[in-house]
Amino acid sequence: MSDELTIHIYPSDCDMVGHVNHAEMLRLAERGRWSVLEKHLTYAEYGRSKLWAVIKKVEATYHAETFAGDDITIRTGLLSVGKTSFVVKQEIRNQRGVMVCDATFVYVTVSPDGKPIPVPEQWKKFFTPWTSDGGASAKE
């Protein structure tokens, strides 16, 4: 099973036009990624780890609006891993199954002095490998 988080959208999540805007959608996507990470380490443990993952690049495509009262499901998975970077993919769908946003986030792992370092082996297992059908692929 893929990593998923369902979030209810409240009026406070919407802008003055009445829908979830770009900045809020990225914040909700981040909540989906943290929900996956928290299965493996706490925020305090992450802070003490002396190595961090920082976002280098974001690509997001919006397909439909999201309004107060909607429930969205954020599916998160690992798309690829490089030497010092990894790519996380997310799809966000509403309760009717309509994709409202899909995005990729390129992370670089860095030391406390901000220098890129190799992606730790255990971090490669934090996210379920991405599959286009929504299921999990076999982990190595």
Confidence (pLDDT) at 138: 37
pLDDT in tens, 68-122: 999 999 999 999 999 999 999 999 999 999 999 999 999 999 999 999 999 999 8
What's the mean pLDDT in 132-140?
52
Would you say residue 139 lies in a domain? no
Range of the domain at 49: 3-125
**Residues near 52 by beta carbon (within 8 Å), at least 6 away in sequence:** 46, 109, 110
Q: Is the pLDDT of residue 29 over 80?
A: yes
Q: How confident is the model at residue 136 (pLDDT cuts 50, 70, 90)?
A: very low
CATH number, domain at 94?
Answer: 3.10.129.10
Is residue 140 assigned to a domain? no
Question: What pLDDT score does 133 carry?
Answer: 72
**What pLDDT sits at residue 51?**
85
pLDDT at position 24 is: 97
Q: Is residue 130 part of a domain?
A: no
Partners of residue 139 on adjacent β-strands: none
When computed from its CA atoms, the radius of gyration of the chain, rounded to whole angstroms, is 16
Q: What percent of the chain has pLDDT over 70?
A: 94
Q: Is residue 138 part of a domain?
A: no
How far is residue 3's CA from residue 17's CA, in Å, rounded to a whole number?
A: 31
Number of domains the chain is built from: 1
Give this prediction's pTM: 0.89
Calculate the average pLDDT of the chain.
92
Residue 31 located in a structural domain: yes
> How is the chain split among helix, strand and coil, in percent rounded to 5?
20, 40, 40
Q: 49 versus 12: which is more confidently predicted?
A: 12
Contact yes or no for 109/53 (Cβ under 8 A): yes
Q: Note the pLDDT of residue 63.
A: 98
Q: Is residue 137 part of a domain?
A: no
